[in-house]
Amino acid sequence: MGAERIRGICGICPDKCDVVATVEDGKLVRVEPDWESKRGRLCPRGALAPQIMNSEKRLLHPLIRTGERGSGEFREADFEEALEYAADLIRRTAEKYGPDSLVSYVGTSGREPSTMVCFGGKHGFFRQMGGINDTNCGSTCNFASYVVAPVTTFGIPQYNIRPDLENTELIFIWGKNPATDSGCQALYKGIRAARERGARVVAIDPRSECNNGEYDEWVPVIPGTDGALILGMAKLVIESGRYDHAFVDKHVSGFEEWKEYLAGLTLSGLSGICGVPEEKIRALTEEFLAKKAVIIAYTGLEYQYSAIQTNRASWILWAICGKMDTPGGMLFAGKGYSEYPLHPVPEGRKPIGTARFPLFYRLSGNAQIGEEFLTGILEDKPYPIRGYLLCAGGTSLSFPEQSRWEEAYRKLDAFIVLERFMSNDARFADVIFPATTYFENEAVVMQPDGMQLRRRIVSPPGEAKCDTFILQALAEKLGFGDAYPKNDEEMLLWQTGGNAALAKALKEKPEGVIRAVEQQYEKYEDGSLRADGKPGFPTPSGKIEIASSLIEDCGLPGLPVYHDIHELEEFGSKEDFPMMLTTGARSKIRFATFGPNIPEIAKAEPDPLMSIDEEDARRLGIADGDTAFVETAFGNGYFKAHVCRMAKGSIHIPFGGGSPYMSGGWKEGNVNRLTSMKHSDPVSGFICYKSLPCRVRKA
- Kindly report which listed range (322-331, 374-383, 563-572) carries the lowest average pLDDT score: 563-572
Instruction: Kindly report whether the global pTM for this prediction surpasses the value 0.85.
Output: yes
Cα separation, 603 vs 589, whole angstroms:
10
Cα separation, 593 vs 107, whole angstroms:
10
Classify burial at 477, counting beta carbons within 10 Å of its beta carbon; exposed 0-12, middle 13-18, buried 19 or more: middle
Query: 421 falls in which pLDDT band (50, 70, 90)?
Result: very high
pLDDT of residue 182: 87
The answer to whether 444 touches 492, Cβ cutoff 8 Å, is yes
pLDDT of residue 342: 96
8-54: pLDDT as tens digits: 999 999 999 999 999 999 999 999 999 999 899 999 989 999 999 99
Is pLDDT of 593 > 80?
A: no
Contacts of 269 (CB under 8 A, 6+ apart): none
Is pLDDT of 299 > 80?
A: yes
Query: 211 falls in which pLDDT band (50, 70, 90)?
Result: confident
Cα separation, 362 vs 384, whole angstroms:
23
The answer to whether 163 touches 154, Cβ cutoff 8 Å, is no
Classify burial at 383, counting beta carbons within 10 Å of its beta carbon; exposed 0-12, middle 13-18, buried 19 or more: middle
Cα separation, 201 vs 153, whole angstroms:
26
The answer to whether 350 touches 682, Cβ cutoff 8 Å, is no
Is pLDDT of 477 > 70?
A: yes
- As a whole number, mean pLDDT of residues 401-405 equals 97
Phi/psi for 387 (5° steps) reads -130, 145
Cα separation, 580 vs 303, whole angstroms:
13
Phi/psi for 367 (5° steps) reads -65, 165
The sign of the torsion formed by the CA atoms of 679, 426, 109, 469 equals: negative
490-540: pLDDT as tens digits: 999 999 999 999 999 999 998 899 877 778 999 999 999 999 999 999 999
pLDDT of residue 1: 54
Instruction: Please report which residue ranges of 321-431 form alpha helices under DSSP H.
Output: 358-364, 371-378, 395-398, 402-411
Query: 405 falls in which pLDDT band (50, 70, 90)?
Result: very high
285-295: pLDDT as tens digits: 999 999 999 99
As a whole number of Å, the CA-based R_g of the chain is 25
- As a whole number, mean pLDDT of residues 101-129 equals 93
User: What count of other Cβ atoms lies within 10 Å of the Cβ of residue 579?
Assistant: 22
Query: 547 falls in which pLDDT band (50, 70, 90)?
Result: very high
Contacts of 162 (CB under 8 A, 6+ apart): 330, 331, 333
Cα separation, 546 vs 558, whole angstroms:
7
Is pLDDT of 458 > 80?
A: yes
Eight-class DSSP state of 298: -
Helix axes of 267-274 and 278-290: crossing angle, nearest 10 degrees: 100
pLDDT of residue 109: 86
Q: Which is nearest to 586 in space by CA: 82, 43, 221, 11? A: 43
The answer to whether 389 touches 177, Cβ cutoff 8 Å, is no
Cα separation, 56 vs 636, whole angstroms:
34
Q: What is the mean pLDDT of the chain?
A: 95
